[in-house]
């Protein structure tokens, strides 16, 4: 269960010696729940790394030791640092510093709060794992983003919506589990990469989960909150908008009715009785058949503000999702465009949300495809709190049977310049709230874990969970740095392993893109479960997800001039870039334009030849992943080696299926042969 918290035993004598100096003794003079967690984690980590448990004491017992503490409460037992020497690091930041005073040599881990100290401990353990020299250490860190959240899509019956790694670790047979061991391990993993918030149940809230906010269920929910609290993580609940009816027996859930508002206020008070630091509600409303304010002729601000008012006295927040679109569209209707929906619904409401509401916007306008443009809603509301939603679980990116390392994709999103406030208005500055000075901002991502022994089904998919946490802690880390760190912590420091696995991870998103839907058009997956190719699977459906391939060409015209006008939702010059065929990036061409198969891309290739070329290359590169992995035989423990190999083999086979289905489909539509005469089934 240890994933990246393996703390592999350090064998090299030089490293042992360098670290042995400090690893014998931990001093912690202040006690809080989270600080105690930090000390326990450090002691455990050191024991795993060096084989011996350090002593833990309130006052120094030797000349070298590790001090774990809270800067504001530095007391006399730790007189080696003056408070004035300690920079302000904020609620969650920390300082790692090697302090030499007289005969003492101390490694200090100091937070301004206990949570900061906990993150500092995990950082120190990472350094120890990676064999970094600790002499003269001086690191000052603080997270760039406020909310660093995980969304579980777990259902009370133990199933997980879009889960590919077994059953829920939270719920079983409509009960919250009693044995919290696995949940605590999960909290450790999350805290170790800086996660500070979790919504424990699916945004699609069914009957049983609706009652999580009831007097009867709250004691059990509070036990979950206890586990997460000790790791600095706040608990949130996804709620059912019609709870006043479902639970409260009212005849309406109209957000403007006094009795409905009163019901939410009472409910909030009751929640805070049980969970004093409860984070708030996550809400999917008027989306994919979920109830919401529309049923009462109210808008989303009215819905969200009602909840916000109930939570406000307790410091809670409402996280309101913007995944709102018409999922009952008629494919014959060419004027409705799902990509426009979030912007069209929410942009007009800018400025009408309470300041404890934050809108959660998916990174793209459609739904977590392997390639989408950045959502034009990001940055479009300068008077409304926004946060960004990613999907770690690989719903459309291979379902943890295919390798698809998503950090490079998210990096591109964060580095996208929205131009919302002129040049340099990067998405990462919407995420960190600085672009418009937002009170609440940050990130949420849908988790990819279940009760599988390795957490994520595919062992290498662990890297996406780790990477999400690290990236939203500091968006300026590179995908390479994050990948390398994960590999070292997970598989050890052998250079060949590090290099090879890093190459695999970093290439995998493009490889997956190459053999699946081309040029940003998306979908082309089997309906419902979304695994494997089905080019027309969504073509005549209600979901608004079309590619419009005919015998002449393919793509969705979303331009201002002749299309749905979606491109016009972007700020200049992005609007013009996407509107014009000549400047639209190749990888998004079919998202914005309908073009003939013979259209020449900026790369110089025709669209049809690009389709063939990338399918063939993608399938070959899936084979390359196997070669890379097998070169590591003997260097990775047999269990993980075999498990990953098996999945890579499945992926390579499945990539051929994708290649052939897509190639044949477009050959049949276009009648144009591959320039290189490779096999395309007719
Ligand atoms: O991606 C789609 C999924 C649904 C999911 C929905 C959402 C939780 O297919 O399973 O429901 O998005 O994000 O609400």
CA proximity to 648, closest of 395, 307, 414, 400: 400
For residue 371 and ligand 1, the question of a CB distance below 6 A is answered with no
166 alpha carbon to ligand 1 midpoint, in Å?
18
500 alpha carbon to ligand 1 midpoint, in Å?
34
CA proximity to 393, closest of 165, 649, 651, 650: 165
Mean pLDDT of 335-348: 97
CA proximity to 15, closest of 106, 130, 122, 94: 130
For residue 162 and ligand 1, the question of a CB distance below 6 A is answered with yes
For residue 161 and ligand 1, the question of a CB distance below 6 A is answered with yes
Out of 151, 341, 395, mutate this one to test ligand 1's pocket (max ligand atoms within 8 Å of CB): namely 395
Q: Residue 85: is its pLDDT beyond 80?
A: no
| % of the chain at pLDDT higher than 70 | 99
Q: Residue 78: is its pLDDT beyond 70?
A: no
For residue 665 and ligand 1, the question of a CB distance below 6 A is answered with no
In this prediction, residue 125 has a pLDDT band, given cuts at 50, 70 and 90, of very high
Residue 101: its pLDDT value, please? 84
Residue 2: its pLDDT value, please? 87
Instruction: Give the integer Cα–Cα distance in Å for 62 and 522.
Output: 62
Q: Residue 76: is its pLDDT beyond 60?
A: no
391 alpha carbon to ligand 1 midpoint, in Å?
10
Q: Kindly report the number of other CB atoms within 10 A of residue 88's CB atom.
A: 9
In this prediction, residue 441 has a pLDDT band, given cuts at 50, 70 and 90, of very high
Q: How do residues 394-415 score in pLDDT, each as one tens digit?
A: 999 999 999 999 999 999 999 9
Residue, of 35 and 52, whose pLDDT is higher: 35
> For residue 287, which atom of ligand 1 is closest to its CA?
14
Q: How do residues 211-239 score in pLDDT, each as one tens digit?
A: 999 999 999 999 999 999 999 999 999 99
In this prediction, residue 77 has a pLDDT band, given cuts at 50, 70 and 90, of low
> For residue 389, which atom of ligand 1 is closest to its CA?
13
Residue 120: its pLDDT value, please? 98
Residue 279: its pLDDT value, please? 98
Mean pLDDT of 159-169: 98
78 alpha carbon to ligand 1 midpoint, in Å?
51
Token digits of residue 402: 């295919």
Nearby residues of 446 by Cβ (< 8 Å), 6 or more positions away = 151, 152, 153, 162, 389, 390, 391, 392, 393
Q: Phi/psi of residue 55, each to 5°?
A: -80, 150
- Is the ipTM, as predicted for this complex, more than 0.85? yes
For residue 323 and ligand 1, the question of a CB distance below 6 A is answered with yes
Q: How do residues 514-554 score in pLDDT, each as one tens digit?
A: 999 999 999 999 999 999 999 999 999 999 999 999 999 99
Which residues are part of the catalytic machinery?
288, 367, 395
Q: Kindly report the number of other CB atoms within 10 A of residue 339's CB atom.
A: 26
389 alpha carbon to ligand 1 midpoint, in Å?
12
For residue 204 and ligand 1, the question of a CB distance below 6 A is answered with yes
Q: Which value, in Å, is the radius of gyration of the alpha carbons in the chain?
A: 26
Phi-psi region of 286 (alpha: psi -120 to 50; beta: other; left: phi over 0): left
In this prediction, residue 88 has a pLDDT band, given cuts at 50, 70 and 90, of confident
> Which residue's CA is minimally distant from atom 13 of ligand 1?
323
CA proximity to 394, closest of 263, 254, 318, 508: 508
CA 115 to chain centre: 21
Residue 72: its pLDDT value, please? 74
Residue 29: its pLDDT value, please? 84
Q: Residue 471: is its pLDDT beyond 70?
A: yes
For residue 470 and ligand 1, the question of a CB distance below 6 A is answered with no
Vertex 153, ends 151 and 158: CA angle to 5°? 135
Q: Phi/psi of residue 595, each to 5°?
A: -130, 155
In this prediction, residue 104 has a pLDDT band, given cuts at 50, 70 and 90, of confident
Q: Residue 14: is its pLDDT beyond 90?
A: no
Residue 672, judged by CB atoms within 10 A of its CB (0-12, 13-18, 19+), counts as middle
Vertex 371, ends 284 and 589: CA angle to 5°? 120
Q: Residue 111: is its pLDDT beyond 70?
A: yes
Q: SS3 breakdown of the chain: % helix, strand, coil, rounded to 5? A: 40, 15, 45
435 alpha carbon to ligand 1 midpoint, in Å?
29
In this prediction, residue 75 has a pLDDT band, given cuts at 50, 70 and 90, of low
Q: How do residues 357-394 score in pLDDT, each as one tens digit?
A: 999 999 999 999 999 999 999 999 999 999 999 999 99
Q: Kindly report the number of other CB atoms within 10 A of residue 419's CB atom.
A: 17
509 alpha carbon to ligand 1 midpoint, in Å?
21
> For residue 362, which atom of ligand 1 is closest to its CA?
13
Out of 163, 199, 323, mutate this one to test ligand 1's pocket (max ligand atoms within 8 Å of CB): namely 323
Q: Residue 1: is its pLDDT beyond 60?
A: yes
> For residue 446, which atom of ligand 1 is closest to its CA?
13
């Amino acid at each position: 269960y240890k994933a990246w918290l393996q703390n592999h035993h350090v064998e090299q004598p030089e490293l042992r010696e360098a670290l042995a100096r400090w690893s014998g003794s931990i001093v912690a003079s202040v006690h809080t729940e989270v600080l105690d967690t930090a000390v326990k984690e450090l002691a455990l980590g050191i024991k795993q790394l060096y084989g011996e448990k350090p002593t833990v004491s309130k006052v120094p017992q030797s000349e070298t030791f590790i001090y774990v503490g809270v800067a504001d409460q530095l007391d006399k037992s730790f007189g080696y640092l003056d408070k004035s020497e300690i920079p302000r690091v904020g609620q969650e930041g920390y300082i790692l510093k090697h302090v030499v005073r007289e005969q003492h040599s101390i490694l200090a881990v100091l937070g301004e709060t206990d949570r900061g100290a906990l993150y500092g401990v995990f950082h120190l353990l990472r350094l120890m794992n990676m064999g970094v020299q600790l002499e003269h250490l001086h690191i000052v860190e603080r997270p760039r983003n406020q909310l660093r959240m995980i969304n579980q899509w777990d259902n009370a019956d133990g199933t997980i919506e879009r889960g590919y790694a077994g059953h829920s670790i939270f719920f079983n047979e409509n009960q919250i589990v009693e044995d919290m061991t696995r949940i605590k391990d999960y909290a450790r993993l999350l805290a170790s990469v800086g996660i500070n918030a979790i919504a424990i149940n699916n945004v699609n809230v069914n009957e049983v989960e609706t009652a999580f906010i009831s007097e009867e269920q709250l004691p059990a929910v509070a036990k979950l909150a206890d586990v997460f609290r000790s790791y600095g993580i706040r608990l949130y609940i996804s709620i059912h908008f019609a709870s006043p009816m479902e639970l409260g027996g009212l005849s309406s859930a109209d957000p403007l009715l006094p009795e409905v508002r009163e019901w939410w206020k009472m409910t909030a008070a009751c929640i805070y009785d049980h969970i004093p630091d409860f984070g708030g509600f996550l809400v999917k409303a008027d989306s994919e058949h979920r109830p919401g304010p529309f049923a009462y002729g109210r808008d989303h601000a009215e819905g969200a503000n009602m909840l916000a008012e109930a939570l406000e006295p307790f410091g809670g927040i409402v996280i309101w999702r913007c995944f709102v679109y018409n999922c009952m569209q008629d494919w014959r209707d060419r004027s409705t465009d799902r990509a426009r929906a979030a912007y069209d619904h929410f942009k007009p409401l800018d400025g009408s949300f309470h300041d404890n509401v934050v809108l959660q916007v998916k990174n793209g306008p459609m739904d977590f495809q392997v390639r989408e443009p950045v959502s034009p809603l990001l940055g479009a509301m300068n008077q409304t709190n926004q946060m960004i939603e990613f999907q770690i679980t690989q719903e459309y990116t291979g379902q943890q049977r295919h390798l698809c390392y998503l950090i490079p994709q998210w990096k591109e999103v964060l580095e996208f310049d929205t131009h919302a406030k002129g040049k340099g208005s990067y998405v990462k500055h919407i995420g960190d709230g600085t672009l418009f000075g937002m009170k609440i901002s940050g990130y949420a991502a849908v988790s990819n874990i279940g009760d599988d022994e390795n957490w994520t089904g595919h062992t290498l998919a662990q890297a996406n969970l780790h990477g999400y946490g690290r990236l939203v802690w500091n968006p300026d880390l590179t995908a390479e740095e994050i990948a390398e760190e994960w590999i070292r912590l997970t598989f050890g420091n052998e250079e060949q392993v590090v290099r090879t696995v890093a190459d695999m991870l970093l290439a995998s998103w493009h490889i997956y893109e190459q053999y699946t839907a081309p040029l940003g058009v998306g979908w082309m997956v089997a309906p419902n479960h979304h695994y494997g190719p089905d080019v027309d699977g969504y073509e005549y459906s209600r979901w608004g997800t079309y590619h419009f391939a005919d015998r002449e060409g393919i793509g969705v015209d979303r331009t201002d001039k002749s299309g749905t006008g979606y491109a016009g939702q972007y700020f200049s010059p992005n609007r013009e870039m996407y509107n014009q065929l000549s400047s639209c990036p190749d990888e998004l061409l079919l998202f914005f334009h309908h073009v003939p198969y013979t259209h020449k891309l900026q790369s110089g290739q025709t669209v049809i030849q690009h389709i063939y070329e990338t399918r063939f290359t993608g399938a070959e590169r899936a084979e390359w992943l196997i070669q890379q992995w097998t070169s590591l035989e003997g260097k990775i423990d047999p269990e993980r080696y075999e498990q990953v190999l098996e999945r890579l083999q499945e992926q390579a086979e499945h990539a051929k299926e994708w290649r052939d289905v897509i190639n044949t489909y477009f050959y049949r539509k276009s009648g144009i042969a591959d320039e290189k005469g490779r096999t395309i089934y007719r």
